[in-house]
Amino acid sequence: MTVGSPERDTRDSRLTDSELQRQLAVTWGSAGGLWNALSNVDHKVIGRRYIVTAFVFLALGGVLSLAMRLQLSQPEARFIGPDRYNQIFTMHGTNMMFLFAVPVMEAMAVYLVPLMVGTRNIAFPRLNAFSYWMFLAGGILLWVAFAIDTGPDVGWFAYVPLAGPQYGTGKRADIWAQMITFTEISALAVSLELVVTILKQRAPGMALNRIPLFVWSILVTSFLVILAMPAIMIASTSLILDRLVGTHFFNPAEGGDVLLWQHLFWFFGHPEVYIIFLPAVGMVSTIIATFTQRPVFGYLAMVMALITTGVLAFGLWVHHMFVAGLPRLGASFFTASSMAIALPAGLQIFCWLATIWWGRPIFRTPFLFVLGFIFTFVIGGMTGVMVASVPFDTQVHDTYFVVAHFHYVLVGGALFPLLGAIYYWFPKFTGRMMSERLGKWVFGLIVLGFNLTFFPMHILGLQGMPRRIYTYQPEMPWGGLNMFISLSALILTTGFLLFFIDVIRSARHGKSAGANPWRASTLEWATPSPPPCYNFQRIPVVGDSTPVWTDCEVLTVASGLRVDRRELLITGVVDASPEARESSPDHSVWPFWTAIAAALVLIWSIFTPWAVVWGAVPVATALTGWFWPKGKPEDES
Amino acid sequence: MKVVKLLLYLVLSGVAGCSGLQSALDVHGMPATHLKHLMTAFFWICAIVWLLVIVTLIYALVRSHTADASTQLDGPRTRIAVSGAVAATAVIITGLTIASFYTTRSIDTRMGDAITIAVKGEQWWWRVRYPNPDWVLEFETANEIHIPVGRDVRLQLESANVIHSFWVPSLAGKQDLVPGRSNTLLIRAERPGVYRGQCAEFCGLQHSHMGILVVAEDEASFSRWLASQRVVRSRTMDDEAAAGERVFLAKPCAACHTVRGTFATGISGPDLTHVGSRRTIGAGLLETTRGSLAAWIADPQTLKPGNNMPMVPLTSDELRQVSRYMDVLR
């Protein structure tokens, strides 16, 4: 609208607050309607969709676990047959890892990171929209397949030869492998966006040593995704090729190797644990700082611990293969490296304890979940030290002991902080508070229900109960504990039901929150709740690591950005000194069409290799539409 | 020490509290005993560390915070405490790593010359072969391994289909059977007994019903057993059993099963030459009785859905005769 005006552009420095808000809303906003919803590239809109979708998958995966607990509640039960049960436990693991845990952590980052670093949108916002549609398509593929009884039944790890062409007949294993491709694409896309956003779009003055710990954890996580995902990409693609065109990567009879699959899978699979856990660590640090009203002790040590964990994560994968028959000396090396991960993990726990020690704890729901996290996760860490030992592992590997261990690590270590984070950031997402009274019930039921459900599994494992069995014989002494576990799972379920009720109720009727209800220190609280489409009216300038505490009245801001087009401030990697103004892409429906075309190719190629040839046409068409030059000056800048 | 052991046992074995046939805590063999000692040490060290963390956390939460509202958070005291805790962690994990290493070494040390037994994982049962340079003395059986007490036994573990894992927790830790590779596992039973195990690597539909028994007996009984297994076909057969044999050979049974000394030489199912002498059928599914044999033959798919034995239509007379035949194959 200012095209042709004498100044050629409109800068925020010469507008009054109300006029600035109006112009920014025009430039960054989106009208209603389905079409605009499909083309929206606002990181908050996409982040919210991601989070909601991931929680839907959590609920679905939870229903599957209840089905398993029903079947296992008594010996030789006949509620679910072996074929369906194998699909159910495969779906549970695959769904929870690929459709809930990793996406939900990235979703939180997609929503929060641009706000926390003080910018207006994520880098590559159209790629971000594309990644969501791909994630959604992968999830739908998996669940539709399950609904029509072609759900994968080879375990979430899909070991060959069971998942290979000879033993995994039908299309079930292909569905699994292709679902992996969908989530790989979306996770890689999001990680690239986050790395660029964190390194190049931070508010002026937010030098590397002033980045919030959550943002550090996301930066390390994103690098883990970028380095680990290619391994599973090679693995799942090789598997599909083995199954579709007979490449024999994993067929020992034709010179392939069965263990190659395990190496590739776990080279991704172990970092995967930290891809889920590190963002949770960042959430814990954030919540502890706010609810003790102090910065977390040992900022540098915490950052170093995150990076060390990220590096070590790539040196541990063989501890998933201790009983596969590798040489003992090599295995011992991996015992040492797996144990070493206790050092950065311990360091972080000690730093949090020190912060709580010197702080004044405020016992609100997010903080309670952090306490539940420490109580539960440290048990998971201890059993982690146990399974890291080769000889110890030979007794508990592939038993319920390991089931207990990784649920302590993933639920205690990642889901509890995530629930705390939802309680913590819900006011920012919606502008409304969740119920404190219900929140305490949710916390109590979930932490109690979880420990009652999963602790006895350690004992079952030591008593010889293997994983992935659909039933057990009456003469085995496991019936009592299994019944106890199944009943305890009901407590856990009640907790989750209350949580969902609280979320839905509070989104409509919750108490109004205000910009900063917790008196927190990071930049996302320096903007209204929920944040406007342009995030910050003016880009904040940061002088230390707790900007909102330091400048609690008025935040220093930078000005000079254009408001008649989408413009971001690009800053230096190390010291975040302003470097350039950069345009940010506008809403576009092409990422949606590209995702549809790509999904078509991927699903079609389960059935014939020709899909790759003919499917290239719609993908190329959609990408051409996506990148078609608009003739506007910002496209050429 | 006895009290501690008892306490540990109660803690670890929980409410069920019974000494199972198949438990890593109910040990009767050399490797499993070493492993239990290591696990006990790990348990106590980890339990103490966890308690210390939780006690510190609780104290940090409830202590009076009025005095130190303005205390410098990163003062030297905090730094020393945190560094000390990290150093202690390093010492503990180093100790545990060394303990693991020495346990691995002691498990792999053989006491004398070992007997070798070849075990192959099938879907979903165990093929057991007692190799002998003299092929006449070599024989095959299924789902039941007999070993002499107090002697090292080297299990040679292979698979020609999918990955399985051999695990008899009372005797030793597990070891995978990987297609295209040959793994070995050393076991030694210190006491006579029957030790149950089962497949520990997910291997398809009936992974849940892939049990194995290890029968440890004294040298004399073991030699008697060896001799009895080398005999081809039972010689004491009544009319009913003889009729059963005719049915067995005429029907599809012989296409998959071997009964040494007859024309039945199929190899895709278990060798049935001495099936009546084995304690269980269906890989630990049912105790071997004439009734369970008849039930299995009549309808294997209901008892173990998805297994590779088809239902062969038999008249009730034929079923009775075949089950009698199986029963006398001792």
pTM listed for this prediction: 0.94
Provide the mean pLDDT of chain A. Answer: 93
- For the beta carbon of residue B11, count every other beta carbon within 10 angstroms: 11
Can you give the pLDDT at residue A30? 87
* Tokens describing residue A269: 């699979």
Any CB–CB contact under 8 A between B302 and chain A? Answer: no
Averaged pLDDT for residues A330-347: 92
- For the beta carbon of residue A624, count every other beta carbon within 10 angstroms: 11
Can you give the pLDDT at residue A331? 86
The structure tokens 């009983």 sit at A323
Q: What is the pLDDT of residues A84-127, one digit of tens each?
A: 999 999 999 999 999 999 999 999 999 999 999 999 999 999 99
Using only C-alpha atoms, chain B has a radius of gyration, in whole angstroms, of: 27
Q: Which residues of chain B fall short of a pLDDT of 50? A: 1-8, 10-20
ipTM: 0.92
Any CB–CB contact under 8 A between B175 and chain A? Answer: yes
Give the HSE-up count for residue B67: Cα atoms under 13 Å, Cβ half-sphere: 3
Distance of CA B72 to CAs A286, B69, B83, Å? 20, 9, 17
Using only C-alpha atoms, chain A has a radius of gyration, in whole angstroms, of: 25
Any CB–CB contact under 8 A between B35 and chain A? Answer: yes
Position with higher pLDDT, A39 vs A15: A39
Q: Do A346 and B163 touch (CB under 8 A)?
A: no
Q: What's the CA gap between A246 and A240, in Å, rounded?
A: 9
Can you give the pLDDT at residue B14? 41
B78-81: long-range contacts at Cβ-Cβ below 8 A with a sequence spacing of 24 or more?
Answer: B78/A297, B78/A354, B78/A357, B78/A358, B79/A298, B81/A350, B81/A354
Torsion-angle region of A476 (φ positive above 0: left; ψ -120 to 50: alpha; else: beta): beta
Averaged pLDDT for residues A541-555: 81
Cβ atoms of B183 and B214 within 8 Å: the answer is no
Contacts A–B by Cβ distance under 8 A: 253
Averaged pLDDT for residues A355-369: 93
Crossing angle of helices B76-107 and A342-358, rounded to 10°: 150
Q: What is the pLDDT of residues A245-294, one digit of tens each?
A: 999 999 998 899 999 999 999 999 999 999 999 999 999 999 999 999 99
Q: What is the pLDDT of residues A624-635, one digit of tens each?
A: 999 988 766 654
- For the beta carbon of residue B68, count every other beta carbon within 10 angstroms: 15
Q: Using CA coordinates, name the residue in chain A closest to B37.
A: A392
Q: Do A159 and B163 touch (CB under 8 A)?
A: yes
Q: Residue A315: which of A335, A345, A301 has the closest Cα?
A: A335
> Which residues on neighbouring strands pair with residue B153, listed in sequence order?
B115, B187
- Give how far A257 is from chain B: nearest CA, Å: 8
Q: Using CA coordinates, name the residue in chain A closest to B32.
A: A395
Chain A interface mutation, best of B55, B68, B101, B161, highest count of A Cβ atoms under 10 Å? B101
Cβ atoms of B60 and A328 within 8 Å: the answer is no
The structure tokens 């919030």 sit at A212
Q: Do B179 and A258 touch (CB under 8 A)?
A: yes
Any CB–CB contact under 8 A between B106 and chain A? Answer: no
Can you give the pLDDT at residue A456? 97
Tell whether the model's pLDDT for residue A356 goes beyond 60. yes
Any CB–CB contact under 8 A between B97 and chain A? Answer: yes
B102 Cβ neighbours under 8 A, 6+ residues apart: none
Q: Do B208 and A385 touch (CB under 8 A)?
A: no
Of A257, A298, A481, the CB nearest to B15: A481
Q: Do A343 and B78 touch (CB under 8 A)?
A: no
> Which residues on neighbouring strands pair with residue A580, listed in sequence order?
A570
E strands in A242-389: none
Torsion-angle region of A118 (φ positive above 0: left; ψ -120 to 50: alpha; else: beta): left
Averaged pLDDT for residues A169-194: 94
Of A392, A463, A475, the CB nearest to B16: A463
* Tokens describing residue B185: 């596992």
- For the beta carbon of residue B164, count every other beta carbon within 10 angstroms: 32
Q: What's the CA gap between B267 and B257, in Å, rounded?
A: 6
Q: Using CA coordinates, name the residue in chain B closest to A336.
A: B97
Q: What is the pLDDT of residues A476-512, one digit of tens each?
A: 999 999 999 999 999 999 999 999 999 999 999 999 9
3-state secondary structure of A161: coil
> Which residues on neighbouring strands pair with residue B194, listed in sequence order?
B215
Tell whether the model's pLDDT for residue A212 goes beyond 50. yes
- Give how far B159 is from chain A: nearest CA, Å: 11
Q: Residue A190: which of A95, A304, A271, A113 has the closest Cα?
A: A113
Q: Do B16 and A477 touch (CB under 8 A)?
A: yes
Provide the pLDDT confidence category of residue A7 given band limits of 50, 70 and 90: low
- Give how far B138 is from chain A: nearest CA, Å: 27
- End-to-end CA distance of chain B: give it in Å, rounded: 47
Crossing angle of helices A342-358 and B30-62, rounded to 10°: 20
Give the HSE-up count for residue B234: Cα atoms under 13 Å, Cβ half-sphere: 20
Of A295, A354, A391, the CB nearest to B100: A391
Chain A interface mutation, best of B77, B202, B205, B304, highest count of A Cβ atoms under 10 Å? B202
Provide the pLDDT confidence category of residue A329 given band limits of 50, 70 and 90: confident
Q: Do B35 and A394 touch (CB under 8 A)?
A: yes
* Tokens describing residue A202: 């931070």
Q: What's the CA gap between A104 and A54, in Å, rounded?
A: 6
DSSP string over B216-284: EE-HHHHHHHHHHHHS-S-S---HHHHHHHHHHHHSTHHHH-B-TTSS-B--SS---TTGGGSSEETTT
Position with higher pLDDT, B163 vs A6: B163
> Which residues on neighbouring strands pair with residue B148, listed in sequence order?
B217
Q: Using CA coordinates, name the residue in chain A closest to B285.
A: A473
Any CB–CB contact under 8 A between B82 and chain A? Answer: yes
Provide the pLDDT confidence category of residue A148 given band limits of 50, 70 and 90: very high
Q: Using CA coordinates, name the residue in chain B closest to A398.
A: B200
Can you give the pLDDT at residue B70? 57
Can you give the pLDDT at residue B45? 96
Averaged pLDDT for residues A515-527: 93
Can you give the pLDDT at residue A237? 92
Q: What's the CA gap between A314 and A230, in Å, rounded?
A: 13
